[in-house]
Structure 1
Amino acid sequence: MKQQFPLKNVQQEKRIFRGRVYFATGLVTFFLLLLVARYAYLQIFHFEEFSDAADKNRIRLQPIAPARGYIYDRNGILLADNYPVFTATLSRADVVDIDDTLKRLVPIISLSQEDIDRFQSRIKTAKKTERVTLKLNLTETDIARFSEVKFQFPGVDIETQMTRYYPHGELFAHVVGYVGRINDKELKIIDKDAYAGTNLIGKIGVEKSYEDLLHGTPGYESIEADAHGNVLRHLGRKESTRGNDLYLSLDYGLQSVAAEQLAGRRGAVVAMDPRTGEILALVSSPSFNPNLFVTGIGHDDYSALRDNLDQPLYNRALQGTYPPGSTIKPMEGLGGIHFKTVDWGTTISDPGYFHLPGDSHKFRDWKKTGHGAVNLHKSIVISCDTYFYILSYQLGIDRMNEWMRQFGFGEKTGVDLPSESSGLYPSQEWKMRTRKSKWLKGETISVSIGQGAFTATPLQLAMATAITANHGAHVTPHVLRESKGAKSHPVHNAPNGKINFSGTDEDWIKMRDAMVDVIQTGTGRGIRTPMYQIAGKTGTAQVKSIAQGKRYNEASLTSRQLDHGLFVGFAPAENPEIAIAVIWENGKHGGSAAQIARPVFDYWMLTRKKKPIIPLSHQMSGGLMTAGIKPGELPSGETPLTTNPNATPKPNTGQTTTAQPVTQAQPATTTTEISE
């Protein structure tokens, strides 16, 4: 039977087809319009944003590390130099597996675990396009081995970078300091943009305290690179700005003389200009070679320095706190004048000891039989302890504290060097706060002769001596004399106030005269000279305590139990140009320390202008010109020194340059002084 199908509805089918066509056309048109809108959004409204993103895939900004500023002494002698070294660097953007790359590089460029640890710390915070240092100061062998296999290490390159060199080795180590690799702690606080491409930062001394001036500002180079990190072309460059050059107040010759006097001894010498506060010499002995630290000191070398019993890394001039002994008696005597406890005519009878009322304990004078009748002038000249025992008992510790703090004791001097110690000048409040007990009157007696809880740094003693030389005008010690470069930094070279003193200028003059007699006829007479007049004061600081009733027996003590010798002084006495503080650890007495000070005085007063000590390597056409400074372009008031045109400094020797021979004034005699 034939099946019947209904007739087609052509019109209906056409409508359905047209609807489908319209829908498909509309859908296609919609997505086409959406695509056009998105294209317009990307190309018109966000063109710069995505253009920059695209450029970053091929155009990179490489930081250009700034050259570090040079450091000179007051005469233009170079103390901190720059020289180039070969450095292995890695680009994070071009290395897929950093750990594997490091593992394969270890035998090729002799990467140590310390190098790897430093690199991994730095790369965590580095920008993707920044090149991070793997190892500084590559050897020729390292470079040769890497060159043979460079194709195996895309993203790893050998570049030339500037590093630091200290041409005079140990001589200025504690004051100029040194730079070293940036560590994890420093990475957290530095401005990473400012230190882009930089590996070194100041660690101690001037290098640290003036890091902002010395560092400079980095530049950038725009380069086009392929997918493998190879440079295709250089597109542009913004040069870095070199750090400021610093001229210090230090004098190379004076520093050399002071260091020579302390050679083989433990101690410190600080010399400063009492008129300005400029530090002329700052020596701590023994010292160390700062060049060892620049590219990373080895474990054995550091252990040798750290474990050395003489502590060469310890800056005795700035951080060493010692009982000042009798060196503080001139300041203390002026305190008696200020509080009207004594005057220049006040006389005591010294039987050789003092005891507190109602107490049988005897505080003995250094001279067992006593000095007889003693006034303030004589007490300074012969360093009579008993006079100051009585004076301190009448003043009391709190008034003594109030007065002596005006000279800078018990607080930091404010010197422009890091890690300064404050020393200690005690008070009743201090003892109650720190030791939870009352102050005893007997403790005041010990403090009166610079013993007991009283400690001071050599720098504090130099500043207090300068204030005394200035008749009470206060100066702040500083080593920066002038800064030249892009950054402005004013330097204050003048007194900044005066201590509160109820006496007259005549009292300062009388104290100066007493200190002159210390050198002429008293405990410091071993260094007297007819060439100029020195005002000074010797001091002895006891290291090992002696029981009541026992005598000091030097023969029974070890070399490190002997008393410290101290000396402070200024010259010329009438118009002081230099103030000096000396500490000789276990030097037995202050007269020994005075012997160290005499050649330092002689050089500054007699030799410096006629025959200055200068290093053979100092060349106007070398040291200063490499810094972009014309010969003779020195701080105002200074003149260039004679140089040896045949000498050339050599980096990484670790040796101190030889100084030209100089005819010194006759050395101080070795006459044994009375005491102290």
Structure 2
Amino acid sequence: MANGRNSDDNQLRDRTGEKRQFTRRTFVAGTGVLALMGLLGGRMGQLQVAGHQRYSTLSQANRVKLVPIPPNRGLIYDRNGIVLAENRPNFQLLVTPEQIPDMEATLSGLRQILDISDAEVERFRDLVARSRSFEALPLKVRLTDREVAVFATNRHRFPGVEVEARLSRHYPHGSHAAHAIGYVGRINEQELQRLDSRGYGGSSHIGKTGSELQFEERLHGESGLERVETNALGRVIQPLGRRAPEPGDDVVMTLDSRLQRVAEDALGDQSGSVVAIDVRNGDILALASTPSFDPNLFVNGIDRATYAGLQENPERPLFNRAVRGQYPPGSTIKPFLGLAGLEHGTVDPDDTYYCPGYFTIDNVNHRWRCWRRVGHGDMDFASAMAQSCDVYYYNLGYELGIDAMAAFLGRFGFGRKPGTGIPGERDGILPSREWKRNARGESWYHGETIITAIGQGYFLATPLQLAHATSVIANRGLSFPPRILRAVREAATGKTVEAAAPEPERVVELDNPEHWDYLVAALERVIHGERGTGRSVGSDLGYRMAGKTGTSQVFSLGQEEDYDEEKLRRGLLDHALFTAFAPANDPRIAVTAVVEHGGSGGGVAAPVARKVMDAYLNPADGGGDRV
């Protein structure tokens, strides 16, 4: 009996303990649940009340995407309405690197169904290396209709690859006026950092050279935005709204495309430059540089082999000789120096100076030779100009001195940029005592004055500088700054706004205006005189031309050495130069031609310039003023 009671008591005590334990556990669990529910409620309150605005915005951003819309780039025209740069629609195969799990497999698969060359793949790899991973990059541009259809049927195999219709910059005339027009290319990292992301949103290209760079702000326009609804995979479901982009303005250049082509054809396969300027307003009518290149190669990325071929070409096709080429002006400087001599009273038009074939100065054991070894005999101002007697100008320069020479020539624009704004234009070198002291830390010598008088030594000028200086002579001291922009057609208004005409400036005011007459008459004798160095182009002209031939040395000869053109390799031949304006009595156009290593200015460069003048002035050749 006792054992039975003990057993019952134990059972009663266990039930009571279990009940108490259960109660405690229930309390703890309930407290925990309430605490967790409190935390959950607090978090829900934070998300739905305190953070409502923020998370609503994030949710909307996940659903709604802002897609920048690049603007249509403005077109470039010549002065007569000929399109020089346009936009062409085409289908492009675009690849977004961050969406590609295996790039090599994707490229291999695409090449199995589409005609994608090694050069296109190489160019694409270069773009990937230089671009951001989320950018859609072109692997192949200008897909055919058949290629578009083939890809459409295989699209499911290539996530991150799309075909889109896009406008692409195109230069319909290829290498024609390529240096003046320039080209566009993909925006690089450095450009991306300085560009306004709002104005360039969605844009992939920017002007790199020439007018494309110079007028980038006008040509580009303003980007637009489109709001689109997307699914969880980022694919567009439907558009929600759109702010249209503002297209770029059209640019009308001063170039005459027909005259430009005449200049390029006249140069042919020679390396050189032709600049033609309307002397009445400073309009640049032709800005030719040969050899040239096809700017279309650069639009969507040029492959390394092609670019290396252009860079390593010894004729430097990418180099704009018209504004960047710096050449010793040679005898083309003599008209400016002759005018300085007249104005300073150093020479008189009727006075003569004897040329024995060389020039010497006291206490110096050196002879500065004339290009005509036997000499010219007695030379007055006009005959020295017509026959380009070096000795006459040696003496004139020595008598004037370098300071007076530099000051006078500087008024014609030598030694500074012409101010057209054309990218890369150079300022040349107008040597003087001050220039040499600053540039070389050395003193000036008399012998340097003598060779500067015939456009050699340190003296350097660009073809554009020389053409502009010639136009100042044609205008008898009046300078119209050269310009390349003629008008802008505003996209917003549709109006054509003429560019502000440059204000002419009287840069050369002579004490005796008759000196202009003496100079122009002497320059006419260069072309139309019996012994003029430019007489080969003076026959059969339907107008009077005033001009000057020149050659510039690319290496120095010893005292007893002769210049034998037949024994020299082409790279050592003199540069051929010619600068002129016409008609002489009523100037309308100035032309400067430079042919590198051409030898004779009168025999090589002058015929090039005449073809340009004939095309502009002779009605039979379709010349005359063009708007």
Question: TM-score by structure 2 length?
Answer: 0.86
CA 1:28–1:58: 2 relative to 1, 3 Å = closer
The within-5 A match list for 1:587-626 is 587-592=598-603, 593-607=605-619, 611=622
Aligned positions, number:
602
The answer for the alignment partner of 2:21 in structure 1 is: none
The within-5 A match list for 1:99-498 is 107=111, 110=116, 112-123=121-132, 131-138=136-143, 143-144=148-149, 146-486=151-491, 491-498=499-506
From the CA coordinates, give the structure whose radius of gyration is larger: 2
The alpha carbon displacement at 1:131 in A equals 4.6
CA 1:291–1:612: 2 relative to 1, 3 Å = farther
The answer for the alignment partner of 2:565 in structure 1 is: 554
Secondary structure of the corresponding residue to residue 223 of structure 1: strand
- 1:310-342: CA deviations, max 9, x gaps? 222222212211111111111112222344433
The alpha carbon displacement at 1:50 in A equals 3.2
CA distance in 1, matches of 2:44, 2:167: 54
The alpha carbon displacement at 1:306 in A equals 2.6
Secondary structure of the corresponding residue to residue 177 of structure 2: helix
Unaligned runs of 5+ in 1: 6-15, 614-636, 640-676
- 1:239-273: CA deviations, max 9, x gaps? 11211111111112211211121112221111011
Secondary structure of the corresponding residue to residue 112 of structure 1: helix
The answer for the alignment partner of 1:514 in structure 2 is: 522
The alpha carbon displacement at 1:96 in A equals 7.5
Amino acid at match of 2:537: I
- 1:336-383: CA deviations, max 9, x gaps? 234443343443222222112111211112223333332323322221
CA distance in 2, matches of 1:225, 1:155: 15
CA distance in 1, matches of 2:227, 2:102: 24
CA distance in 2, matches of 1:154, 1:227: 15
Given the alignment, which residue of 562, 567, 576 partners 1:565? 576
CA 1:98–1:215: 2 relative to 1, 3 Å = farther
- 1:129-171: CA deviations, max 9, x gaps? x655455444567645543432234443211111122111222
The answer to whether structure 1 residue 78 and structure 2 residue 78 are counterparts is no
CA distance in 2, matches of 1:150, 1:555: 65
CA distance in 2, matches of 1:96, 1:54: 26
CA distance in 1, matches of 2:347, 2:440: 32
The answer for the alignment partner of 1:499 in structure 2 is: 507
The alpha carbon displacement at 1:581 in A equals 0.2
Secondary structure of the corresponding residue to residue 269 of structure 1: strand
The alpha carbon displacement at 1:502 in A equals 4.4
Secondary structure of the corresponding residue to residue 242 of structure 2: strand
The alpha carbon displacement at 1:232 in A equals 1.2
The answer for the alignment partner of 2:546 in structure 1 is: 535
The answer for the alignment partner of 1:574 in structure 2 is: 585
Q: Would the aligned equivalents of 2:520 and 2:546 in 1 still touch at CA under 8 Å?
A: yes
The alpha carbon displacement at 1:510 in A equals 2.3
The alpha carbon displacement at 1:449 in A equals 0.4
In terms of mean alpha carbon deviation, does 340-349 or 203-212 score higher?
340-349
- 1:438-480: CA deviations, max 9, x gaps? 2221111111101111111111110110111122222222211
CA distance in 2, matches of 1:65, 1:38: 40
- 1:23-43: CA deviations, max 9, x gaps? 99997997698568535644x
CA distance in 2, matches of 1:61, 1:366: 72
The answer to whether structure 1 residue 38 and structure 2 residue 46 are counterparts is yes
CA 1:28–1:262: 2 relative to 1, 3 Å = closer
CA distance in 2, matches of 1:474, 1:98: 64
Amino acid at match of 2:325: G
CA distance in 2, matches of 1:489, 1:438: 52
The within-5 A match list for 1:6-21 is none
CA distance in 1, matches of 2:40, 2:191: 56
Q: Would the aligned equivalents of 2:127 and 2:137 in 1 still touch at CA under 8 Å?
A: no
Task: Provide the aligned C-alpha RMSD in A.
Answer: 3.4
Q: Would the aligned equivalents of 1:194 and 1:217 in 2 still touch at CA under 8 Å?
A: yes
CA 1:262–1:271: 2 relative to 1, 3 Å = same
The answer for the alignment partner of 1:64 in structure 2 is: 69
CA distance in 2, matches of 1:154, 1:468: 67
CA distance in 2, matches of 1:227, 1:33: 28
CA distance in 2, matches of 1:193, 1:98: 33
User: Identity of paired residues, percent?
Assistant: 40
CA 1:339–1:600: 2 relative to 1, 3 Å = same
CA 1:31–1:360: 2 relative to 1, 3 Å = closer
Amino acid at match of 1:447: T
Amino acid at match of 1:117: D
CA 1:98–1:229: 2 relative to 1, 3 Å = farther
Unaligned runs of 5+ in 2: 13-23
The answer to whether structure 1 residue 583 and structure 2 residue 591 are counterparts is no
Given the alignment, which residue of 530, 535, 539 partners 1:525? 535
CA distance in 2, matches of 1:395, 1:361: 20
CA 1:56–1:35: 2 relative to 1, 3 Å = closer
Amino acid at match of 1:594: A
The answer for the alignment partner of 1:616 in structure 2 is: none
Q: Would the aligned equivalents of 2:47 and 2:55 in 1 still touch at CA under 8 Å?
A: no
CA 1:502–1:577: 2 relative to 1, 3 Å = closer
CA distance in 2, matches of 1:296, 1:36: 53
Q: Would the aligned equivalents of 2:184 and 2:206 in 1 still touch at CA under 8 Å?
A: yes
- 1:273-317: CA deviations, max 9, x gaps? 112111101111222222222222233333333333322222221
CA distance in 2, matches of 1:335, 1:247: 38
The alpha carbon displacement at 1:607 in A equals 3.1
Q: Would the aligned equivalents of 1:273 and 1:280 in 2 still touch at CA under 8 Å?
A: yes
The within-5 A match list for 1:78-97 is 78-90=83-95, 95=99, 97=101
CA distance in 1, matches of 2:557, 2:201: 59
